[in-house]
């Protein structure tokens, strides 16, 4: 079940919120601690105003909530709310059995016993879940994984605690996969909210529409993306709709990763079928692969890993993804020479792709030694970025691979005089249009966006994952981002 956590100040607003998100949710949690004192007095009416099972919760500040009342007043609010038809009440682990339990039992309200830890995943988590379960209908733990090894502990809950009614939530950025794959952990529900009432929470629409999290079952094939900044990745918006488009029971989930080794262990555990690799792991994954393609060997970087019988295979779809939007121009002789700005990881693959298509390349980089290194491997020219004016009117293609323009309205070759015949290509995906491209457009140049490369490489990755072409009927919507 997908459960919407309500953090509105009034009952009326809470009801409106439920109506707005109704198609994405199966359950709601009314948080008394977000209601004003006056509105809290009306809380018992809430279940009759919505057509979904309701949980009532009054979260203390120490557990991440807002209720700063005395314990007696807090419980009094809960007791009053329990006059309404709530299906569940959330009672914290440390509360001794008392009037809340008695009233819940008398009124047929199920008890969720909850434990919160905002700093870590406690070592004794499984025994604590079993202890909680003894005192309640449902045991709930919301803990904070500090790395991928902790995430593995949470996924092991299903094996360790089979048959126990439970809710297990990994909070914070490492915990995001546990929220999406809640059914794989044997969790009764996952919480969602637009206002992030707990760290790492996703919106109901993201969980239901993008991930189809409630449809995950034992047979669902899991795919992933790993990196140190995957939460803003657009790739889930390519793969998940693609899977739906070919009616493949599969899900593509972002994993923030701190250790590649631990992730490979988790990948075995979850039987992950394949995954995308982003910064900074494109090199580090190589040592775990049993088979790599020629491109991976040449470029020295892998962005796609696929499970094969007995081994992991590494491929590089960045290479083809980059070429896809300009392939025709190269074939038809409109691109014979190129300037590549930047000499980071992405630049290496791009220079290699262009050299392989017989394009003359000059790499310009702020740090000359990095440009020289790539130039030597790929047999091409290099120069300092500051000398860019020397190349005006000399090239057919300019590829922007530096990080300049990612979070600022800056062009690394400000004032470069374009003839209007150049093709300008920026590999930055956010923002879609950088200053480099805006200036190129203003000069009448043909431009290519980083998003084109992202979609092209994603579609190839999809083929590597599934063995099927990306469905033509699906247009990935990258306007909103994945989370």
Piece of the chain touching ligand ATR by CB under 6 A; list 163-171, 194-202, 263-271, 365-373: 365-373
Applying the rule CB under 6 A, the residues between 106 and 145 that interact with ligand ATR are: none
Q: Going by DSSP bridges, is the β-strand pair 381-384/446-448 parallel, antiparallel, or unpaired?
A: unpaired
Residue nearest to ligand ATR (CB): 344
265 token code pair: 């262990």
**Which 3 state secondary structure label does DSSP give 338?**
strand
Min dist CB 148 to ligand ATR, Å, is: 21
Residue whose C-alpha is closest to residue 295's, from 280, 311, 282, 279: 282
> How many residues at the interface with ligand ATR, by CB under 6 A?
17
Min dist CB 455 to ligand ATR, Å, is: 19
Min dist CB 408 to ligand ATR, Å, is: 9
Q: Tell me, what DSSP letter sits at residue 60?
A: B
Residue of the chain from 245, 345, 431, 481 that contacts ligand ATR (CB under 6 A)? 345
**Which 3 state secondary structure label does DSSP give 472?**
coil
Does residue number 402 form part of the binding site for ligand ATR (CB under 6 A)? yes
Query: Which residue bears the tokens 């080794």?
Result: 261
Sorted by sequence, the CB contacts under 8 Å of residue 49 that are 6+ apart come out as: 11, 15
Output the CA angle 219-225-229, nearest 5 degrees: 145
- Angle between helix 236-245 and 450-466 (nearest 10): 50
Residue of the chain from 181, 224, 244, 404 that contacts ligand ATR (CB under 6 A)? 404
Piece of the chain touching ligand ATR by CB under 6 A; list 19-27, 44-52, 246-254, 398-406: 398-406
Q: Going by DSSP bridges, is the β-strand pair 190-192/2-6 parallel, antiparallel, or unpaired?
A: parallel
Give the sheet arrangement for strand 138-143, strand by strand.
Answer: 166-170, 138-143, 110-116, 88-92, 54-57, 27-31, 2-6, 190-192
Does residue number 67 form part of the binding site for ligand ATR (CB under 6 A)? no
Residue of the chain from 367, 387, 394, 475 that contacts ligand ATR (CB under 6 A)? 367
Residues marked as catalytic? 282
Sorted by sequence, the CB contacts under 8 Å of residue 481 that are 6+ apart come out as: 232, 234, 237, 430
Piece of the chain touching ligand ATR by CB under 6 A; list 150-158, 259-267, 399-407, 470-478: 399-407
Piece of the chain touching ligand ATR by CB under 6 A; list 63-71, 117-125, 222-230, 337-345: 337-345
Residue of the chain from 343, 351, 380, 445 that contacts ligand ATR (CB under 6 A)? 343
Residue of the chain from 269, 356, 403, 480 that contacts ligand ATR (CB under 6 A)? 403
Residue of the chain from 405, 412, 450, 458 that contacts ligand ATR (CB under 6 A)? 412
The answer to whether the beta carbons of residues 52 and 24 sit under 8 Å apart is: no
Does residue number 346 form part of the binding site for ligand ATR (CB under 6 A)? yes
Does residue number 342 form part of the binding site for ligand ATR (CB under 6 A)? yes
Nearer to ligand ATR, 26 or 284 (CB): 284
Does residue number 22 form part of the binding site for ligand ATR (CB under 6 A)? no
Residue whose C-alpha is closest to residue 137's, from 112, 162, 157: 112
Min dist CB 348 to ligand ATR, Å, is: 8
DSSP 124-160: THHHHHHHHHHTSSEEEEEE---SHHHHHHHHTHHHH
Does residue number 430 form part of the binding site for ligand ATR (CB under 6 A)? no
| Site for ligand ATR, rule CB under 6 A | 279, 342-347, 365-367, 370, 385, 401-404, 412
């Amino acid at each position: 079940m997908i459960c919407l956590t309500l953090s509105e100040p009034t009952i009326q607003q809470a009801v409106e919120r439920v109506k707005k998100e109704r198609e994405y949710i199966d359950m709601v949690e009314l948080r008394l601690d977000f209601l004003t004192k006056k509105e809290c007095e009306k809380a018992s009416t809430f279940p009759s105003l919505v057509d979904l099972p309701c949980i009532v919760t009054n979260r203390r500040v120490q557990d991440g909530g807002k209720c700063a009342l005395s314990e007696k007043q807090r419980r009094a609010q809960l007791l009053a709310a329990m006059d309404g038809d709530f299906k569940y009440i959330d009672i914290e682990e440390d509360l001794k059995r008392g009037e809340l339990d008695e009233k819940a039992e008398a009124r047929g309200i199920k008890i969720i016993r909850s434990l919160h830890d905002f700093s870590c995943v406690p070592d004794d988590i499984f025994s604590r879940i079993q202890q909680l379960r003894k005192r309640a209908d449902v045991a709930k733990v919301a803990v904070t994984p500090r790395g991928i090894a902790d995430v593995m502990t949470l996924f092991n809950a299903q094996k360790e605690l089979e048959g126990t009614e439970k809710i297990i939530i990994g909070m914070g950025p490492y915990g995001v996969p546990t929220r999406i794959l809640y059914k794989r952990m044997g969790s009764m529900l996952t919480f969602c909210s637009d206002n992030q009432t707990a760290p790492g929470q996703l919106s109901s629409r993201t969980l239901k529409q993008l991930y189809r999290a409630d449809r995950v079952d034992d047979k669902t094939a899991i795919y992933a993306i790993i990196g140190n900044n995957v939460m803003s990745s657009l790739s889930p918006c390519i793969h998940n709709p693609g899977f739906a488009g070919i009616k493949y029971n599969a899900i593509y989930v972002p994993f923030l990763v701190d250790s590649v080794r631990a992730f490979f262990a988790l990948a075995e555990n979850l039987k992950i079928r394949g995954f995308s690799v982003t910064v900074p792991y494109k090199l580090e994954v190589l040592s775990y692969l049993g088979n790599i393609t020629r491109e991976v060997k040449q470029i020295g970087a892998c962005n796609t890993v696929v499970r094969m019988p007995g081994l992991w295979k590494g491929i590089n779809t960045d290479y083809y993804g980059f070429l896809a939007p300009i392939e025709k121009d190269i074939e038809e002789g409109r691109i014979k020479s190129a300037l590549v700005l930047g000499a980071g990881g992405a630049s290496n693959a791009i220079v290699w792709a262009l050299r392989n298509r017989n394009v003359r390349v000059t790499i310009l980089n702020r740090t000359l030694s990095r440009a020289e290194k790539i130039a030597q491997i790929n047999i091409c020219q290099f120069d300092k970025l500051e000398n860019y004016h020397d190349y005006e009117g000399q090239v057919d293609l300019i590829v922007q691979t530096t990080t300049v323009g990612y979070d600022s309205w800056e062009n690394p070759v400000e004032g470069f005089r374009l003839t209007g015949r150049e093709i300008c290509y920026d590999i930055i995906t956010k923002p879609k249009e950088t200053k480099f491209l805006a200036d190129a457009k203003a000069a009448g140049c043909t431009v290519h966006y980083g998003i084109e490369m992202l979609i092209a490489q994603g579609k190839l990755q999809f083929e590597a994952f599934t063995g099927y072409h990306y469905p033509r009927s699906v247009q990935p919507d990258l306007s909103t981002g994945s989370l």
